[in-house]
Every structure is written in C-alpha cells, then in structure tokens.
Chain A
Amino acid sequence: DVVMTQSPLSLPVTLGQPASISCRSSQSLLYSDGNTYLNWFQQRPGQSPRRLIYKASNRDSGVPDRFSGSGSGTDFTLKISRVEAEDVGVYYCMQGTHWPKTFGQGTKVEI
C-alpha cells in the first residue's frame, strides 16, 4: 500500500500569517494517464471533510484562493497564504492513483 506521510501533525498558526503542510507518498502518484491524483481535504471541527484541492494543484469551486496546492511525484504541499479563523481544523492528503486509496494521518491546524 502507498503510505502517505504528513508533516507536521500539529501546526500552530497566527492569523494573517502563511502556513504550509507537507505530504509525502511512498510511491510516485503519477498515473499512466498523465495525471497525479493527490487530493487535499479540510475537516472543520464537528463537520464532514470537504475537498479543497484535486490533482495536486487544482482548487475546488468555492475554495478561497488563499489555499494552493503544489508538488509532483512523491512530494506535495498545501499552502495557506494568510490564515483566517475559519481555517482551523484537520487537513488530510489522499492519493487516488493506486489501490487501495490511502490518506495521510492528518495535520491539525490551530490558532
């Protein structure tokens, strides 16, 4: 199975400051169709997860542009350009290239 390793697991942030989460996979996530199926999800306290980023760098509809995803192969990053209070929660990366689909452990973002 592809192991997804996130760091840090806990991220204290300051409002208005940038934040960054790393996600590394144990195998390349480049699929034979040329796409890289790496997704980022946000789970606010008491809520269901919500997808923020798909195929490593594409922002979902309605997601604020302060969120951005980058990376390729085995090394990926989620960045928040200026943290807002509503960004508190747990962030997960997930690979959809290989079976079984696997998630990272989650990164808890707190003010």
Chain B
Amino acid sequence: QKEVEQDPGPLSVPEGAIVSLNCTYSNSAFQYFMWYRQYSRKGPELLMYTYSSGNKEDGRFTAQVDKSSKYISLFIRDSQPSDSATYLCAMSRGSQGNLIFGKGTKLSVKP
C-alpha cells in the first residue's frame, strides 16, 4: 500500500461548484497535514496546514483531517476558474521538512 494516495483526476467542475479533494494515507505517525496548489511547471504553494484531526477554514477553503480513518479532505466553495490547478496533499511525521506528497489532483473549473 502506498504511503499517500490521491486520485489524480482530472476533475472538471462548473464555476461556483463545491469541490471536494481527498487523500488517504497508511502511516498513523503522520501528524501534520497540508494542501498545496501547483500551477503547471511552478512550485507548490501552501494553501492549508492542519495539525492532527479537525477542521480548518480559510476563506473559500476548508481542510478536514480524520486521523481515525486516515483520510484528509480539502473543500473549495464557490470555485473559480483561477482555482484551476493541481492540488497536492502532503503530510509529515514531524521530522525536519520531510513532507510526503500525494500525486496531485488536477482540477479544472469551467466558466
């Protein structure tokens, strides 16, 4: 079983839709969970960072972590064409910057 699994998509939604992106993981030692956005041939840009289980909201973005199910989610409300990008989940055991990434889900928001 891969350490972090993420559906690569592609996922296409109409503008204004609610988007749900998910990752599962196998290592119960992960404590820190992040979502990055990556545009083509660019560096990952941090969107959300969550420690342990729970929810975190930032504007149109909500991150959820369910450690009991080893499942994390990112919700995007009122999606915009500018949200079109690849979304990467990443997690860490707490070591020095060794982030384990998912493969990324490519999202396209159509006007």
Same assembly? no
Residues of B within 8 A of A (CB): none
